Amino acid sequence: MKAEGKRNIWREYQKEIACDHFYYQRSCIRQNFFPASEKTFLKILRDELGKDIYDDPLHTTCTGIGYHTDVVPFDTIQAVVARHFALMTEAGYKNMAISCVTSFGIYSEITETWKEFPEELEKVRKSLKKAIGKEFEVPANIAHASDIIYKFKGEIAEKQQFELINKQTGKPLKIVEHIGCHYSKMFPSKGVGGAEFPHVLSGMIEEWGGEVVDYPERRHCCGFGFRQYMVQSNRGYSLSNSKKKFESMEPYMPDAIVANCPGCNMFLDKWQYTLAEMQGKTYGQNGKGIPVLTYEELAGLVLGYNPWDLGLQMHQIDCEPLLDKMKVPYNPEDKYLGANKKYIGRPEVAACLA
């Protein structure tokens, strides 16, 4: 195929991402498991890129976890989302930046429903007005936070302090990218590259000097699956999915995993600990685990932020091997010190990961 034809086809896989003036929608679980990622995102947008982004303390969870486990009905979640849109309208914003892939899927599902069934939109408008007296506009642009980092990956590269290169060998770092299912598998047109060729994370990795690992189970689900992990006895399904991915990526000897979904990040990190405890099996090159980063943490490392300010000490799998390869300076004694320099405690580590 001619290059021009390829470019034309690829153009159809792009999505429109707003340039500035974002209303930030935080995630509920990321703030627990990767507490500095969202702060890093705000810092990069405000301080590095000079963008306007509003972090609203009034918004709540999207209730996506409840919705996907059949606890929250569709009407209820529509009302919650409509309230968020009302807060955004009141704050004077039109572009939404969403931290969580589950929330991103929820907003996409609901706005698409309103396009197909305008009567649902009218019903929600009436309900919201009656319940809390608020009115709202549907956002002009809904982007996932990783879309925004993807859009400005070039600007970040210009300020890059550390390349994604193994300084010990001089070769690019081999990085596994994992896209959350709800990012583009539900509505392919809502993700960069669609469901077939999601480019949002691989674009960042390549731009910042790394090499993307293309392994057989690359597009397999991480296993998060709300119904799987909510019930303890079902968590084996979740764990087995992650194990399938680890087994598949292991021969390619990846240096790190990057994901754009809170659940994928959490389980790809924590299940490595579980598998080490249960089966004594680890998947990293050094006989330990493979570090799992969020895209904000990766961007923060590239920009030269202190790894402990990025919250890397909260990971189950130690990130120090990756930092050593990138030659990112860090003080091991500061690892478990909080913002006020108080000791925050050390996580329990599986014997074969220690």
Q: Of 93, 104, 17, 105, which Cα lies nearest the Cα of 53?
A: 93
Helix (H) / strand (E) element for 328: namely none
Q: Which of 244, 285, 309, 314 binds another protein (CB under 8 A)?
A: 244
Q: How far is the CB of 234 from another protein (least distance, A)?
A: 7
Is the CB of residue 255 less than 8 Å from the CB of residue 174?
yes
- CB of 277: closest distance to another protein in angstroms? 8
**Among 58, 132, 253, 278, which residue sits at the site for another protein (rule: CB under 8 A)?**
278
Distance of CA 78 to CAs 64, 66, 209, 318, Å? 11, 13, 41, 40
Binding of residue 219 to another protein (CB under 8 A) = no
Sorted by sequence, the CB contacts under 8 Å of residue 247 that are 6+ apart come out as: 217, 283
Q: What are phi and psi of 7, to 5 degrees?
A: -65, -40
Residues binding another protein: what is the number (CB under 8 A)? 16
Residue 242: CB minimum distance to another protein, A: 9
Q: Measured between alpha carbons, how far is 298 from 209 in angstroms, rounded to an integer?
A: 12
Q: Tokens 């969403």: give the residue.
A: 98
If binding is defined by CB under 8 A, does position 274 make contact with another protein? yes
Confirm or reject binding of residue 239 to another protein (CB under 8 A).
yes
**240 sits near another protein (criterion: CB under 8 A):** yes
Identified binder of another protein from the candidate list 28, 29, 134, 237, rule CB under 8 A? 237
Judged by beta carbon, residue 69 or residue 331, the one nearer another protein is: 69
Give the shortest CB-271-to-another protein separation in angstroms. Answer: 9
Q: Would you tell me which residues interact with another protein (CB under 8 A)?
A: 232-237, 239-240, 243-244, 247, 274-275, 277-279
